[in-house]
């Protein structure tokens, strides 16, 4: 599993970088990032709100929020998106 994650981290941002030359692909990436940030933030704030309301401020309760599959998927996509944007920034600065 760690190998798959490592290969995804190394392989997906360059594929996204290649696709940023096309307007529709870039629009899809940006929309995906916006949606993933909204999902990520909603799950995080909802989980922390429930913990604070129930007064369950234990480490296991707080870290239980991170086990939500939607949280993990949206966070992974946003991480790939940020790596892609950094690659684009490096590429543009290197061209100058």
Q: What are phi and psi of 49, to 5 degrees?
A: -60, -45
**Domain of 7?**
2-95
What's the confidence (pLDDT) of residue 16? 84
More confident of the two residues 41 and 2: 41
DSSP assignment letter at 54? T
Total structural domains in the chain? 1
Write the pLDDT tens digit of every residue in 30-79: 999 999 999 999 998 998 888 888 887 777 777 888 888 899 889 989 98
Write the pLDDT tens digit of every residue in 8-26: 878 888 888 888 888 898 8
More confident of the two residues 89 and 64: 89
What's the confidence (pLDDT) of residue 37? 94
Distance CA 38, CA 1 (A): 27
This prediction has a pTM of 0.76
Q: How confident is the model at residue 96 (pLDDT cuts 50, 70, 90)?
A: confident
What's the confidence (pLDDT) of residue 33? 92
Residue 61, C-beta contacts closer than 8 angstroms, at least 6 positions apart = 51
């Amino acid at each position: 599993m760690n190998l798959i994650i490592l290969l995804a981290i190394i392989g997906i941002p360059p594929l996204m970088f290649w696709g940023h030359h096309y307007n529709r692909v870039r629009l899809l990436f940006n929309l995906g990032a916006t949606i993933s940030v909204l999902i990520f933030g909603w799950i995080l704030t909802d989980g922390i709100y429930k913990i604070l309301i129930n007064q369950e401020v234990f480490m296991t309760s707080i870290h239980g929020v991170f086990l939500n599959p939607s949280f993990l998927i949206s966070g992974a996509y946003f991480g790939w998106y940020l790596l892609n944007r950094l690659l684009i920034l490096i590429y543009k600065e290197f061209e100058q």
